[in-house]
């Protein structure tokens, strides 16, 4: 005689995927992390470092130039606000409009492989 196979709990609700929320350092709005630019605190000060997730971070709305103004940044970044405001404005100029080119890092890698 074999005992009945224990069944999983079909009624158990599937947990929703947790979307980490962050708060904008300028306007204090809460949004999903993907909507933000991340600033990383380094020994040299706050830096816009894409892709790096180490150290302390701060977030600014990626689509809201109003959040990149020096006077808004000053509350969170103090004396570095002016420099960061400049970097953010530059970044926006480089990002361009709808015609902006995506990053071509893949091409660079394959060129390196060529003998
Ligand atoms: Zn904001």
Expressed in angstroms and rounded, the spacing between residue 93 Cα and the centre of ligand 1 is: 19
- Alpha carbon separation from 48 to 31, 45, 93, 105 (Å, rounded): 19, 10, 15, 19
Expressed in angstroms and rounded, the spacing between residue 83 Cα and the centre of ligand 1 is: 18
> Domain spanning 21-93 has what CATH number?
3.30.1230.10
pLDDT at 58: 94
Q: Is 51 left (phi over 0), alpha (psi -120 to 50) or beta?
A: left
CA dist 24 and 36 (Å) reads: 8
Scored b (16 or more CB within 10 A) or e, 25-57 reads bbeeeebeeebbbbbbbeeeebbeeeeeeeeeb
| φ, ψ (nearest 5 deg) of residue 18 | -80, 125
pTM of the model: 0.64
| Ranges of each domain in the chain | 21-93
Expressed in angstroms and rounded, the spacing between residue 68 Cα and the centre of ligand 1 is: 8
60-112 residue pLDDT tens = 999 999 999 999 999 999 999 999 999 999 988 887 655 444 444 444 444 55
């Amino acid at each position: 005689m074999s005992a009945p196979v224990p069944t999983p709990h079909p009624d158990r609700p599937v947990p929703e995927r947790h979307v980490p929320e962050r708060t904008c350092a300028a306007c204090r709005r809460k949004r999903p992390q993907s909507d933000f630019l991340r600033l990383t605190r380094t020994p040299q000060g706050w830096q816009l470092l894409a892709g790096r997730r180490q150290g302390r971070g701060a977030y600014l709305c990626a689509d809201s130039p109003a959040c990149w103004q020096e006077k808004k940044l000053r509350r969170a970044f103090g004396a570095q606000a002016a420099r960061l405001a400049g970097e953010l404005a530059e970044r926006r100029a480089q990002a361009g409009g709808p015609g902006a080119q995506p990053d071509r890092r893949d091409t660079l890698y394959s060129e390196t492989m060529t003998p």
